[in-house]
Amino acid sequence: MTTSATVIRRAQSPAGSPQSPAGLLDKRMFALFPIPMFMGIIPNEWILEPIENEIRALKGDHRRPWMSADDLHRLPVMRPLIDLILTEAGSVLDFLAVERASHYVSNMWANVTAANHRGELHVHPNSLLSGLVYIKAPPNCSPTLFVSPRRFNKGLEPRYTKKNEYNSDFMLMPAIKGRMLIWPSHLPHAAEHDVGVSTEDRIVVSFNVMIRACIDIPTARLNLT
């Protein structure tokens, strides 16, 4: 395994100086077990309109918040989006060096909520990768909140002079039409409140990705077909 590390310089004492050492030699800092988040914008926004129309037809007169069945990936109108998801998920799996015969979208569903609806914190079990696409995102509508799993295992929470990626347990991803996010399925997330006052719908398509593989690890063998 290779890691990228930040070299931390230290002040050097003159040779033979009786002073106490100014610090460690070859001091480095690197991230342990980082959780990746992959993000991009769909280049062909025209594929979103027929998906929005299909979701509205499925919703019908049901009130918000509304969630569809989890088999939207079987609909012909979803094919262009599925193809794009498979391409991007393949790149993610390659980046993570995941061995597999193939990969596929195992579930896909839509959520239609008020622009500032707040959802419950959750994870997506029985999948390797999860993601979403913002189909419709009114101004300042609910962003997606991601929470570090370490948040639930801390014995002490000090105050910080400033927040950064090493000490923060929360990250808000603004909702932008056409934005796709992909992350490891064990990462907790939820829709969060924002300052928007729009009466329009916030429409999100969520999905899970699984692999087909024979995982040949002693005492942990698993055949995923």
Q: What percent of the chain has pLDDT over 70?
A: 92
What Rg value do the Cα atoms of the chain yield, rounded?
Answer: 22
Domain boundaries, the chain: 35-149+167-224
Q: What is the pLDDT of residues 92-130, one digit of tens each?
A: 999 999 999 999 999 999 999 988 889 999 999 999 999
146 CA to centre of own chain? 7
- Any idea what DSSP says for residue 180? E
pTM for the predicted model, two decimal places: 0.88
Give the CATH H-level superfamily of domain 35-149+167-224. q2cbj1_9rhob like domain (2.60.120.620)
Give, in order, the Cα–Cα distances in Å from 192 to each of 102, 159, 174. Answer: 34, 23, 10
